[in-house]
Amino acid sequence: MTIEQMLLIFAAGLVAGFVNIVGGGGSLVSLPALIFLGLPSAVANGTNRIALMVQSLVAIGYFRQKGFFYPKLSAMLAAPAILGSIVGAKFAIALTDETFNKILAVVMLVVLVLIIWRPEKKFISAEQENYSPSRLAVAALVFFGVGFYGGFIQAGVGFIIIAALALITGMTLVKINSLKVLITAIYMLSSLLVFVLSGKVEWLPGVVLAGGNALGAYLGSVFTVHKGDKWIRVFLVVTVVVMAIKLLNLHKFIGF
């Protein structure tokens, strides 16, 4: 690996780490960077998870320092996510680039609708969170699906977690983001092990990417805590629009 390649990967990790913590979808930056180096898509997918683990640990430390740390609730939601991630990671080994782009584009567009429409306001008061047993049971089931998607592709899973927790519990986006990084770190480990055991991980690019992700994750955590819900929502909308345009190749027609 050349110095230029390492700098490119580090820069991609920096951007991806920030985007992943603030909303999600940062792997759309880091995965192409790894593929550009000639890594097969499955290997890039596995290698990318090294950096995702590191950035999650950095963000967890920052959120905990600022008083946003909920280990019991995170563990409850992470348990079904672990099972889902193992199943999803096995499917990811055979994932093609074409399938990846189509699925992710659909997910981004759906989440964009949720961000703009904000259907959670119709069911949950913005001033009161709801942790009833029935809602927590629904959340546990949903997080099996979250884990499956995270193990399968991972890119954009942050949007799914944000939409799910906002709709089911009525949490603020700052609290959701703190839960998101801890839950992701827990189930990410299980999916990473699947890729490692399948020989789908390159450690040197993964470590370089992790360095960039760690710095980006810290900056993203600072942005999340100090800017609050309003700016997080603006950032999410802009990010989703840009990603969806590129995934659907619409940029070729609009000169983006």
| pLDDT computed for residue 178 by the predictor | 85
pLDDT in the model for residue 10: 94
In order along its 256 residues, the chain shows pLDDT tens digits of 788 888 999 998 998 888 777 756 677 778 777 877 888 888 988 999 998 888 888 888 888 888 888 888 889 999 999 999 999 999 988 777 777 667 767 766 776 676 566 554 554 445 567 778 888 899 999 999 999 999 988 877 877 888 788 888 878 777 888 888 899 999 999 999 999 999 999 999 999 999 998 888 788 878 766 665 566 567 667 766 776 676 676 655 555 4
Give the CB-side neighbour count of residue 132, counting CA atoms within 13 A: 8
3-class DSSP string for 178-225: HHHHHHHHHHHHHHHHHHHHCCCCCHHHHHHHHHHHHHHHHHHHHHHH
Confidence (pLDDT) at 120: 47
